[in-house]
Chain A
Amino acid sequence: MRKYFGRKIFVYALTFFAAVTINWMIPRLMPGDPIKSRLARASLNDAGAAEALYGYFNKMFGLDLPLWQQYLNFWVSLFQGDLGISIWNFPTPVIDLILGAVPYSLGLLLPSIILSWLVGNWFGAYAARSKWLDNTILPIGYILTATPYMWLALLLAWSLGIVAGLFPAAGSYGLSLQPAFTWTFISSLLEHWFLPFLSLFLVALGGWAIGMRNMIIYELESEYSNYLQALGAPRRLIRKYAFRNAMLPQLTGLAVQLGTVVAGALLTEIVFSYQGLGYLILQAIQNQDFFLLQGTFLFIVIGVLIANFIIDIVYALVDPRVRVQMQGGAK
């Protein structure tokens, strides 16, 4: 048990270390002078202004220090929660912007991930080895997994949002509203939340259904299913066992897919101008706000790591083999 979690935590710590190092390294590793190219993109006309900015950024990044010290400083300021100051929304610290956006992203991600996983597994389990369901769910599933996130978001925003006018197609709450704990605000929030949620939910749904279907077919081929069948066990019972066994790989699959789903959420937020992390990333890219971009990246990595760890815990709780070990049973 301790070994299981010890290994996992070690990998996550290593991943975090790698992510921070990537974050630090990329601006320094890229060919050319990152600050110069950034200034070039900003297309400043005044040479003096460009020079002043160049000096400012050089100091800001601490590029005048030796490399190892830059790297160390990066870690120190990271642990102080200092991710720099946003250029897009000057002079708000990047960390404040991110903390403001995280609830919106989580509000989209958690329900869509959990619901699509549950519903997808359920559909997939029913589709396995039942001819007509299989023939309808499977193609739909493949089309959904092949759909680019932003395209489905665009389709929904256009069809249900703009043409049908059922839901607002942009923003995270009404333009005239201020965040408050009132009914009007909350209902507006929910209205704006629905389409991005639906979009994320649908894209992920297909993959889970297909995965579960394949797992169930595989389980139904296995020895214990044949044995149960030979004993004359009812179909329902065999399927129940198969389902339980298929759940575990699906849980691992969820951990593997997290990064993709989070990235999909970023794209979806951009389509709906939903003010989560994806929207911040878009603003950062469009406004050359590299502190914001890097800060958001780190936050996404941290989020994915935490989610992975939670899945590991759930896995340990669900898997009877691990559970028995935990209770001091058979080794």
Chain B
Amino acid sequence: MTAAQPLPDPTTAPEEPAVATPKAPRLEALYFALRNPKLVVGLSIVLLFLLVGLVVPPFLEHTPGERYAPPLLPPSAEHWFGTTQFGQDLFTQFVYGIRSTFLVGFLGGGIAAVIGMTIGFVAGYKGGWIDEVLNMLTNVVLVLPTLAVLFIIAAYVDSYGVVTQSFFIGMTSWPWAARAVRSQALSLSSRDFVDLARLSGVRPWKIIVRDIAPNMSSYLFMTFILLFGGAVLAAAGLDFVGLGPNDGMSLGLIMHQAVKWGALQLGVWWWFVPPGLGITAIVGSMYVMNVGLDEVFNPKLREM
């Protein structure tokens, strides 16, 4: 606070010619992005996992449920993550689990982001009774304990896939995003350029998409990342209690099976440690990446 003098605000830096504006801010963001260790480390870990989830499955010889190896083998060169009590290869399960983790994150976080942002923008821009009603709705859904609602919903569905699960998660986890976006949109919608757009008869929807949203795009992106992490954790919780999708493999399901078949008592640590570690690594590096992004977009937070 006292010692670290903030850098001169780059947008007003004199040596930067004003004509070069279309490209300069983006390049500048990139410049800071590449020099931000949090962003670089977080992004690399996330991309590494994404790559593993996307690229590796086709090369695996066995399916995650296939029982072909001796049971309860500790990690070895043959079975990198060991095997389950039923002789399933845990590395195979892990890789497929990563895949569905990203799927749930993208879809669940994406649906939540769309709902939350729509409600937030409309409430913040429109104001008045629309704001009141949407705010009430947001507060009601916000107070409901999400995972408990998901338990109830999932328990009554006979069989469903990852996409449906993401849909359920998205439908229940949007409220805080709506709240955050609303307050940002509210402060932006009283700016001069929005007034100008309004006066010139631009449609509200167009104003939101073209004038308000681009001015908080970094904020929206970071909101999505947090929703992504939340969706992954919620899905893991559902899978863990045995209410996950009936088809496919997920990291939560591996832990569910480990607990169900007594991995704790048997001391089979390789059954339940890697899946949780995978989730923690993915979600944790996304959070760290978010801090890095925040520092890149917000010059005040840069500590040099």
Contacts and interface: CB of A to CB of B under 8 A. Distances in A.
A301 B141 CA distance: 11
Interface string B105-146: 000000000000000000000000000000010011011111
Given A148-B233, A290-B155, A12 B143 contact: yes
Interface stretch (A54-62, A84-92, A186-194, A262-270): A262-270
A259 B145 contact: yes
Contacts of B300: 221
A320 B176 CA distance: 26
A14 B176 CA distance: 18
Contacts of B236: 148, 150
B29 interface: no
Given A267-B240, A285-B242, A27 B288 contact: no
Interface string B155-168: 11110000000000
B193 interface: no
A266 B147 CA distance: 9
Interface in B228-282: 229, 233, 236-237, 240-243, 252, 255, 258-259, 264-265, 267, 269, 272-273, 275-277, 279-282
B6 to A, nearest CB: 10
Contacts of A138: 291
Interface string A157-174: 110001100000100000
B252 to A, nearest CB: 8
Interface SS of A by simple majority: helix
B73 interface: no
A294 interface: yes
B158 A32 contact: yes
Nearest to A294: B152
B153 interface: yes
A177 interface: no
Given A129-B1, A146-B284, A148-B279, A301 B145 contact: yes
Contacts of B1: 129, 220, 229
A304 interface: yes
A37 interface: yes
B293 interface: no
A149 B156 contact: no
A26 B171 CA distance: 14
B265 A162 contact: yes
Contacts of A184: none
Given A145-B287, A148-B236, A282-B241, A18 B280 contact: no
A271 B151 contact: no
B220 to A, nearest CB: 19
B283 interface: yes
B255 A150 contact: yes
A93 interface: no
B192 to A, nearest CB: 23
A13 to B, nearest CB: 10
Contacts of A304: 143-145
B60 interface: no
A262 to B, nearest CB: 5
A256 B142 contact: yes
Contacts of B148: 259, 262-263, 266, 297, 300-301
29 contacts: A11-B136, A15-B139, A15-B144, A26-B152, A30-B157, A37-B158, A142-B288, A145-B287, A146-B286, A148-B233, A148-B252, A148-B279, A151-B255, A151-B279, A154-B264, A158-B264, A169-B264, A256-B176, A259-B147, A260-B145, A260-B147, A270-B259, A285-B241, A294-B152, A297-B148, A297-B152, A300-B145, A304-B143, A304-B144
Interface of B: 1-2, 136, 139-140, 142-149, 151-153, 155-158, 176, 229, 233, 236-237, 240-243, 252, 255, 258-259, 264-265, 267, 269, 272-273, 275-277, 279-284, 286-288, 291, 300-301
Across the A-B interface, the 6 shortest Cβ-Cβ residue pairs:
A151-B276, A263-B147, A146-B284, A259-B145, A146-B283, A30-B156
